[in-house]
Amino acid sequence: MEAYAKLAMEAAQAGNWRLAIAASLILSVVVVRWLAPKLSGKLGAFFKSNRGGSILVLLGGVAGAIGSALLAKQALTSSLLISGVTMGVTASGGWNVVWDLVSPADKPPNIPAVSPPPTPPEPPKEAE
């Protein structure tokens, strides 16, 4: 998390608002998903799920785009929605990279063993 906080600060100091907001968005998603189990009921379970995380990052991207437009004193336009979704998708890719790096090591797939079909019973022998 420190790496994304540092990246966000350096990008903001350099005036690269898109990168600063994307890094901040990734950091906020990490924090919300980390706190999700502490939330009660369905809300915590939703934010912990993949779908909840995706919605969170897309909404955050739109909010980030609006925030950066307001900071830059630009007009709010319909292209801002596209920019926000793009920012959310960019941040979600970054989130996946972070998750892949900090998650437990990959385990081999759990594929159940397929047993061979049973051998057919031998036909009864005729009495000689």
| Domain residue spans of the chain | 2-102
SS3 content of the chain, % helix, strand, coil (to 5): 70, 0, 30
Tens digits of per-residue pLDDT, 61-115? Answer: 888 788 778 877 888 888 888 888 887 777 777 667 666 667 666 666 566 667 7
Q: How confident is the model at residue 33 (pLDDT cuts 50, 70, 90)?
A: confident
Query: How far lies 17's CA from each of 13, 71, 126, in Å?
Result: 9, 9, 89
Indicate whether this model's pTM tops 0.75.
no
Tokens of 128: 């000689």
Secondary structure of residue 68 in the 3-state scheme:
helix
Quickly count: other Cβ atoms within 10 Å of residue 48's Cβ: 16
